[in-house]
Protein backbone atom coordinates (compact mmCIF):
# COMPACT_ATOMS: atom_id res chain seq x y z
CA UNK A 1 0.00 0.00 0.00
CA UNK A 2 1.54 3.31 -1.09
CA UNK A 3 1.66 6.03 1.54
CA UNK A 4 0.97 9.59 0.55
CA UNK A 5 2.21 12.65 2.35
CA UNK A 6 -0.74 14.84 3.25
CA UNK A 7 -0.37 18.48 4.14
CA UNK A 8 -3.27 19.92 6.05
CA UNK A 9 -4.06 23.58 6.38
CA UNK A 10 -6.08 24.01 9.52
CA UNK A 11 -8.14 26.78 11.06
CA UNK A 12 -5.18 28.16 12.98
CA UNK A 13 -3.40 28.89 9.66
CA UNK A 14 -0.78 26.23 10.32
CA UNK A 15 0.12 23.70 7.67
CA UNK A 16 0.64 20.29 9.25
CA UNK A 17 2.12 17.26 7.58
CA UNK A 18 0.62 14.01 8.83
CA UNK A 19 3.02 11.47 10.29
CA UNK A 20 3.48 8.42 8.09
CA UNK A 21 2.69 4.84 9.11
CA UNK A 22 6.31 3.98 9.83
CA UNK A 23 6.57 6.87 12.29
CA UNK A 24 3.25 5.88 13.85
CA UNK A 25 4.49 2.29 14.26
CA UNK A 26 7.69 3.55 15.85
CA UNK A 27 5.66 5.77 18.20
CA UNK A 28 3.59 2.78 19.28
CA UNK A 29 6.61 0.55 19.85
CA UNK A 30 8.55 3.16 21.84
CA UNK A 31 5.58 4.16 23.99
CA UNK A 32 4.72 0.55 24.75
CA UNK A 33 8.36 -0.17 25.62
CA UNK A 34 8.31 2.74 28.08
CA UNK A 35 5.01 1.59 29.52
CA UNK A 36 6.42 -1.92 29.89
CA UNK A 37 9.26 -0.45 31.98
CA UNK A 38 6.70 1.43 34.09
CA UNK A 39 4.67 -1.75 34.57
CA UNK A 40 7.77 -3.64 35.76
CA UNK A 41 8.38 -0.93 38.36
CA UNK A 42 4.72 -0.94 39.41
CA UNK A 43 4.79 -4.74 39.66
CA UNK A 44 7.84 -4.60 41.91
CA UNK A 45 6.20 -1.97 44.12
CA UNK A 46 3.02 -4.08 44.27
CA UNK A 47 5.04 -7.12 45.32
CA UNK A 48 6.83 -5.09 48.01
CA UNK A 49 3.47 -3.79 49.29
CA UNK A 50 2.06 -7.32 49.47
CA UNK A 51 5.06 -8.43 51.50
CA UNK A 52 5.09 -5.35 53.73
CA UNK A 53 1.39 -5.48 54.55
CA UNK A 54 1.48 -9.28 54.77
CA UNK A 55 -1.47 -9.66 52.44
CA UNK A 56 -2.23 -13.35 52.25
CA UNK A 57 -5.15 -15.56 51.48
CA UNK A 58 -5.79 -14.64 47.87
CA UNK A 59 -4.61 -17.04 45.20
CA UNK A 60 -1.81 -15.64 43.07
CA UNK A 61 -3.91 -15.62 39.91
CA UNK A 62 -6.54 -13.43 41.64
CA UNK A 63 -3.84 -11.02 42.82
CA UNK A 64 -2.46 -10.83 39.30
CA UNK A 65 -5.91 -10.14 37.88
CA UNK A 66 -6.61 -7.52 40.57
CA UNK A 67 -3.25 -5.86 39.89
CA UNK A 68 -3.91 -5.76 36.16
CA UNK A 69 -7.35 -4.18 36.45
CA UNK A 70 -6.77 -1.95 39.48
CA UNK A 71 -3.23 -0.74 38.79
CA UNK A 72 -1.96 -1.40 35.27
CA UNK A 73 -5.11 -0.48 33.35
CA UNK A 74 -5.45 2.95 35.01
CA UNK A 75 -1.68 3.46 34.70
CA UNK A 76 -1.87 2.74 30.96
CA UNK A 77 -4.69 5.24 30.49
CA UNK A 78 -2.90 7.82 32.64
CA UNK A 79 0.42 7.38 30.79
CA UNK A 80 -1.06 8.47 27.48
CA UNK A 81 -3.64 10.93 28.83
CA UNK A 82 -1.29 12.88 31.08
CA UNK A 83 1.50 13.05 28.54
CA UNK A 84 -0.66 13.96 25.55
CA UNK A 85 -2.70 16.54 27.44
CA UNK A 86 0.02 18.27 29.46
CA UNK A 87 2.78 18.22 26.81
CA UNK A 88 0.75 19.57 23.87
CA UNK A 89 0.03 16.22 22.25
CA UNK A 90 3.33 14.49 22.91
CA UNK A 91 4.30 11.22 24.51
CA UNK A 92 7.85 10.04 25.08
CA UNK A 93 7.85 8.47 21.63
CA UNK A 94 6.47 11.60 20.00
CA UNK A 95 9.29 13.64 21.54
CA UNK A 96 11.76 11.19 19.98
CA UNK A 97 10.08 11.14 16.54
CA UNK A 98 9.28 14.89 16.49
CA UNK A 99 5.52 14.42 16.14
CA UNK A 100 2.49 15.48 18.16
CA UNK A 101 -1.28 15.11 18.25
CA UNK A 102 -3.70 17.81 17.13
CA UNK A 103 -7.47 17.85 16.80
CA UNK A 104 -9.21 17.81 13.41
CA UNK A 105 -8.89 21.60 13.22
CA UNK A 106 -5.14 21.55 13.88
CA UNK A 107 -5.43 22.91 17.43
CA UNK A 108 -4.05 21.21 20.57
CA UNK A 109 -6.19 18.37 21.86
CA UNK A 110 -8.38 18.81 24.91
CA UNK A 111 -8.60 16.60 27.98
CA UNK A 112 -11.63 14.74 26.64
CA UNK A 113 -9.78 13.87 23.44
CA UNK A 114 -6.67 12.79 25.36
CA UNK A 115 -8.75 10.49 27.59
CA UNK A 116 -10.69 9.22 24.58
CA UNK A 117 -7.51 8.39 22.66
CA UNK A 118 -6.17 6.51 25.67
CA UNK A 119 -9.35 4.47 26.14
CA UNK A 120 -9.66 3.75 22.41
CA UNK A 121 -6.17 2.22 22.48
CA UNK A 122 -7.71 -0.55 24.60
CA UNK A 123 -10.07 -1.65 21.82
CA UNK A 124 -9.10 -5.19 20.83
CA UNK A 125 -7.24 -5.24 17.50
CA UNK A 126 -7.03 -1.42 17.46
CA UNK A 127 -3.40 -1.52 16.24
CA UNK A 128 -4.60 -3.52 13.23
CA UNK A 129 -6.96 -0.70 12.27
CA UNK A 130 -4.02 0.94 10.49
CA UNK A 131 -4.16 -1.83 7.91
CA UNK A 132 -7.61 -0.70 6.81
CA UNK A 133 -7.81 3.05 7.44
CA UNK A 134 -5.38 5.95 7.19
CA UNK A 135 -5.87 6.95 10.81
CA UNK A 136 -6.16 4.36 13.54
CA UNK A 137 -9.37 4.03 15.48
CA UNK A 138 -8.00 6.06 18.39
CA UNK A 139 -7.53 8.93 15.91
CA UNK A 140 -10.71 8.58 13.89
CA UNK A 141 -13.03 8.09 16.88
CA UNK A 142 -11.61 11.13 18.73
CA UNK A 143 -11.18 13.26 15.58
CA UNK A 144 -7.45 13.71 16.10
CA UNK A 145 -4.32 13.16 14.02
CA UNK A 146 -0.60 12.80 14.57
CA UNK A 147 1.43 15.37 12.65
CA UNK A 148 5.09 16.22 12.25
CA UNK A 149 6.45 19.04 14.38
CA UNK A 150 7.22 22.34 12.73
CA UNK A 151 10.81 22.85 11.75
Could you tell me the residue range of the domain that residue 134 belongs to? 7-148
The answer to whether residue 23 sits within a structural domain is yes
Give the model confidence (pLDDT) of 46-72 as tens digits.
888 877 767 666 676 677 778 878 889
The answer to whether residue 88 sits within a structural domain is yes
pLDDT at 147 over 60: yes
The answer to whether residue 73 sits within a structural domain is yes
Q: Per the structure, how many domains does the chain have?
A: 1
Q: Is 18 in a helix, a strand, or coil?
A: strand
Task: List the Cα angle 42/46/50 in 5-degree steps.
Answer: 170
The answer to whether residue 1 sits within a structural domain is no
The answer to whether residue 28 sits within a structural domain is yes
More confident call, 8 vs 142:
142
The answer to whether residue 87 sits within a structural domain is yes
- Residue 6 — pLDDT band, cuts 50, 70, 90? very low
Give the model confidence (pLDDT) of 88-131 as tens digits.
999 999 999 999 999 999 999 999 999 999 999 999 998 888 77
Cβ 92 vs Cβ 122: under 8 Å: no
Measured distance CA(7)–CA(22) in Å, rounded: 17
The answer to whether residue 47 sits within a structural domain is yes
The answer to whether residue 2 sits within a structural domain is no
Cβ 84 vs Cβ 101: under 8 Å: yes
Amino acid sequence: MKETQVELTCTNNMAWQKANRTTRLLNGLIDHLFFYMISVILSALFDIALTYFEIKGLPENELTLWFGYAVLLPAYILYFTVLEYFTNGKTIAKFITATHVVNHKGAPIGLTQAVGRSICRLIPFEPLSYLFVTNGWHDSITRTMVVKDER
